[in-house]
Structure 1
Amino acid sequence: MLETIPIIDITLLRTSSGSSTVVAEQLGQACRQYGFFYITGHGVDQSLQQRLETLSRQFFAQDAAVKLQIAMVKGGRAWRGYFPVGGELTSGKPDLKEGLYLGAELDNSHPLVKAGTPLHGQNLFPATLPELRQTVLDYMAAMTKLGHVLMRGIALSLGLEADYFEERYTHDPLTLFRIFNYPAAATDSDQWGVGEHTDYGLLTILKQDNLGGLQVKSQGRWIEALPVPNTLICNIGDMLDRITGGLYRSTPHRVKNPSGHDRLSFPFFFDPNFEAKIQPIPTLVESQPDNWQERWDGASLSLFEGTYGDYVLGKVGKVFPQLRREVIE
């Protein structure tokens, strides 16, 4: 039997102040069984999505020297900007992708920016495509709104008050956005666009183009997360795994692009506030067995204590070791 990731219509969740128990139950089942789910009824404007995709293709089609005008090294502690193919590592291996790192737009007067807090600051946008700036900011605003909606549904799925996560973690979330371009890989190649990994935070909301290539590890088997028209695909991150005691497990995934064409991917990360202390939900007394032996990185999430900033810096620093040395250490 072909295993498929569930598709959930969240219209009632968006339009009824997070009170839809039916949608919450569907989210809970998907989180327990797959750690991934597609959403319809998300309300994200299709024309905005199309502008984002068109402008992103135009950006990546430029010469390398033009793209490097906004190289990540120029973004400093904000950790923003462009990296070329092979410039990002997963488990120590270069990924077959290039990309733009983006985040909440904060000017130099913001307290966290003034304090030199990593991952906070201003984005680097290409002068060659002035329309990209507003398109990205509009899309991030839509994704942030959607992230709050989904986390209300996930809270309800756990038998919690709808605002559980917002009160403790996401009143002022850390929102990070990536635009990735995956060059075509040979079908028999052992080089991955991005290797096996889990995401770091609470929730990832992904827009992907129509080429496919995303694979999800479900119950020990890899399955294809094929593009479904008019949907976004969501997955759990490590911090939701930690907070739920492993009841909602962060799911490994990877990407290979054998399509013969460049593939675009737009992951948006809706994560805890940088300074939020991560703590298990007290009412979930029966935590799940620790699966550190099965994890791609051999890490034990049940042992993690500290803030989300502690966790994410440790992870991102391994993805860009040179930038870590220059910016954090």
Structure 2
Amino acid sequence: MNLESYPPLFSELSNQEEYLSSDHHQKVDTVDSIIIKPVVQDSDPIPVIDLQSLSLDELGEACKDWGLFRLVNHGVPPSLLNQLQDHAKTLYSLPFQSKQALFTTPTSYFWGTPALTPSGAPLSRGPQKINWVEGFNIPISQLSQLQPLHPVLASFRLLLEDYGKHLARLAKTIYEAMAMKLKLDEEQSKSNLSESTGNIRVYRYPSCSIPDTAWGIDVHTDSSVLSILYECEVGGLEVLRDDEWFQVKPICNALIVNLGDMMQAISNDNYKSVKHRVKLNKHKERISICYFVFPDEDSVIRSSKYKPFTYNDFRAQVQEDIKTHGFKLGLESFKLSEAL
């Protein structure tokens, strides 16, 4: 455990096992005030979609029933995936201050909170009040502006450019297949996914001596149209389906695709934005790389379930939700009242 590389609060809390394990900090596993059953561990029922023999029916079922699927035969070279993981590990092993200095505008370094909210020391010093995660947020369209202030960062930038092209291809292919299955208007749906909005977040979830007292990332939905995740070593991702949590076991060279809030609205609630979380590991840190893609910022999303809104509207509402409530309300803020 390289505590020098951790954000200072993580280092401090990592040395406070007695504090971490106190009864005061034990968590009740709930979502929206519903008691959730224990995590299902004995099977791996996550749907698998083969991109080389893509079935619209199988894709539609996975999006409707799970909001998530494992993608295979996607065409991303295994060597590229391995190099990205190795470079990420090297960068995260740098001292905390070095990472802060390396990742500046247009990229950013965050810790303790989702990337969408400000980073920094939380009001409460209890670990359950923060996300036990740090990350680099990297807009793909602005990668050329990233200053290679470290030799590993210079080669990492080239790898990310290559990876971004592959992921833009995958996102476009998957979205067009979903739009076809949903019978969306072709012209109207074109602006619902914009390659220029793609960004990559590289996460590190430090090991935690008492992992049941904190979450890497607590229960949430993504705000994106699609999120495409790569992680092949440690595991920890859990998804909610029918009030049960399921582990998503890591499989090297496979990608995990999950639908976000924008896709749920675009699909008129036929597809779901999956609730998920990341559980910590007591002995190993976890590195994951996630690509997020959104609609054009000014593209209006229209649905019989929601008031017309743009992603700009949605993002502003999320920030307001966090200030007011401390968490994201998401699509609930735009939902139309039921007809009388």
Give the shorter-chain TM-score range: 0.7 to 0.9
Q: Would you say the 8 A contact 1:38–1:232 is kept in 2?
A: yes
Residues 90/148 of structure 1: CA separation in 2 closer, same or farther (3 Å cut) = closer
Q: How does 1:87-102 map to 2 (within 5 A)?
A: 87-88=113-114, 93-102=129-138
Residues 125/309 of structure 1: CA separation in 2 closer, same or farther (3 Å cut) = farther
Residues 224/210 of structure 1: CA separation in 2 closer, same or farther (3 Å cut) = same
Query: For the residues of structure 2 that align with 1:230 and 1:82, how far apart are their CA atoms?
Result: 26
Deviations 1:73-130 (A, max 9, x none): x42xx5x22124x2548998421011100112349xxxxxxxxxxxxx9446552422
Residue 311 of structure 2 is matched in structure 1 by 308
Deviations 1:184-225 (A, max 9, x none): 124553210000000002111110131110000011111101
Query: For the residues of structure 1 that align with 2:248 and 2:48, how far apart are their CA atoms?
Result: 11
Residue 247 of structure 2 is matched in structure 1 by 224
Residues 38/306 of structure 1: CA separation in 2 closer, same or farther (3 Å cut) = same
User: How far off its partner does 1:160 sit?
Assistant: 4.1
Match of 2:279 among 246, 256, 272: 256
Residues 136/320 of structure 1: CA separation in 2 closer, same or farther (3 Å cut) = farther
Q: Which letter maps to 1:44?
A: V
Match of 2:167 among 125, 138, 143: 143
Q: Would you say the 8 A contact 2:232–2:253 is kept in 1?
A: no
Q: Secondary structure at the match of 1:105?
A: helix
Residue 46 of structure 2 is matched in structure 1 by 5
Q: Would you say the 8 A contact 2:260–2:274 is kept in 1?
A: yes
Q: Say what the alpha-carbon RMSD is for the aligned residues.
A: 2.8
Deviations 1:239-283 (A, max 9, x none): 111112211010100001225111011110122112211112xxx
Query: For the residues of structure 2 that align with 1:316 and 1:136, how far apart are their CA atoms?
Result: 28
Of residues 125-134 and 235-244 in structure 1, the stretch that sits farther from structure 2 once superposed is 125-134
User: How far off its partner does 1:50 sit?
Assistant: 1.0
Q: Secondary structure at the match of 1:55?
A: helix
List alignment gaps of at least 5 residues for structure 1: 14-22, 108-120, 281-286, 288-301, 322-329
Residues 320/62 of structure 1: CA separation in 2 closer, same or farther (3 Å cut) = farther
Q: Percent identity over the alignment?
A: 26
Residues 89/176 of structure 1: CA separation in 2 closer, same or farther (3 Å cut) = closer
Match of 2:301 among 278, 291, 296: 278
Query: For the residues of structure 1 that align with 2:277 and 2:77, how far apart are their CA atoms?
Result: 27
Query: For the residues of structure 2 that align with 1:89 and 1:167, how far apart are their CA atoms?
Result: 27
Q: Which letter maps to 2:94?
A: Q
Q: How does 1:63-74 map to 2 (within 5 A)?
A: 63-71=95-103, 74=104
List alignment gaps of at least 5 residues for structure 2: 1-41, 123-128, 325-340
Using the size of structure 2 for normalisation, the TM-score is 0.72
Residue 57 of structure 1 is matched in structure 2 by 89
Residues 59/320 of structure 1: CA separation in 2 closer, same or farther (3 Å cut) = farther
Q: Would you say the 8 A contact 2:211–2:280 is kept in 1?
A: no
Residue 27 of structure 2 is matched in structure 1 by none
Q: Looking at CA atoms only, which structure, 1 or 2, has the larger radius of gyration?
A: 2
Q: Which letter maps to 1:138?
A: D
Query: For the residues of structure 2 that align with 1:240 and 1:66, how far apart are their CA atoms?
Result: 37
Q: Which letter maps to 2:219?
A: E
Residue 105 of structure 1 is matched in structure 2 by 141
Q: Secondary structure at the match of 2:239?
A: strand
Q: Would you say the 8 A contact 2:102–2:150 is kept in 1?
A: no
Q: Would you say the 8 A contact 2:141–2:196 is kept in 1?
A: no
Match of 1:246 among 250, 256, 269: 269
Q: Which letter maps to 1:24?
A: L
Q: Would you say the 8 A contact 1:181–1:264 is kept in 2?
A: yes
Length, aligned pairs only: 272
